[in-house]
Amino acid sequence: MGGQCQLFVSPKIAWKLPEMTTTNSPEEVDRQPIDLGDFVREPWDWAAYRRRRSEIAGTWRADGLRYFSLGYFLKNLYGQRVQKVSIDAGLTCPNVDGTVAYGGCNFCDNRSFSPSRRMPRRDIFQQIEAGIRLLKLRYRVDKFIAYFQPATNTYAEIEDLQWMYAQALRHPQVCGMAIGTRPDCVPPEVMQVLEQVSKQVMLSVEYGMQTMHDRSLAWMNRGHDHAATVDAVQRSRDLSFEVCLHIMLSLPTETRADMLETAREVARLGVDAVKIHNLYIVKKTPLAMMWEQGDVRLMERDEYVETVVDFIERLPPEMIVERISGDAPSDYFLAPTWSLDKPGILLAIEQEFARRDSWQGKFFGK
Q: Please say whether the beta carbons of 318 and 59 come within 8 A.
A: no
Amino acid 318: pLDDT: 98
Q: State the average pLDDT over residues 304-313.
A: 98
Nearest CA to 225 out of 189, 187, 186, 182 is that of 182
**pLDDT-based confidence at 28, cuts 50/70/90?**
very low
pLDDT, tens only, 163-180: 999 999 999 999 999 999
Amino acid 59: pLDDT: 98
Cis amide leading into 336 (omega within 30)? yes
Q: State the average pLDDT over residues 77-92.
A: 95
Amino acid 366: pLDDT: 82
Cα 16 off chain centre by: 25
- The DSSP bridge partners found for residue 242 are 204
Spatial neighbors of 243 by CB under 8 A, at least 6 apart, are: 204, 205, 206, 207, 233, 236, 271, 272, 273
Spatial neighbors of 234 by CB under 8 A, at least 6 apart, are: none
- The DSSP bridge partners found for residue 320 are 273
Q: Which range is least confidently modeled, 132-141, 190-199, 213-222, 329-338? A: 329-338
pLDDT over threshold 90, residue 77? yes
- The DSSP bridge partners found for residue 275 are 246, 323
**pLDDT-based confidence at 110, cuts 50/70/90?**
low
**pLDDT-based confidence at 35, cuts 50/70/90?**
low
Q: State the average pLDDT over residues 235-248.
A: 96
Amino acid 311: pLDDT: 98
Q: Please say whether the beta carbons of 190 and 7 come within 8 A.
A: yes
Amino acid 40: pLDDT: 55
pLDDT over threshold 90, residue 10? no
Could you give the percent of the chain with pLDDT greater than 70? Answer: 86
Please indicate whether residue 58 or residue 43 has the higher confidence score (pLDDT).
Answer: 58
| Burial 130-139, CB ≥16 within 10 A → b, else e | ebbeeeeeee
DSSP labels for 209-234? EE-S-HHHHHHHT-S--HHHHHHHHH
Q: State the average pLDDT over residues 85-92.
A: 94
Please indicate whether residue 111 or residue 189 has the higher confidence score (pLDDT).
Answer: 189
pLDDT over threshold 80, residue 279? yes
Q: Please say whether the beta carbons of 116 and 88 come within 8 A.
A: yes
**What's the CA gap between 234 and 271, in Å, rounded?**
10
Amino acid 51: pLDDT: 96
Q: What value does the mean pLDDT of the chain take?
A: 88
Residue 188: count of CB within 10 angstroms of its CB = 8
Q: Domains (ranges, CATH) in the chain?
A: 43-356 (3.20.20)
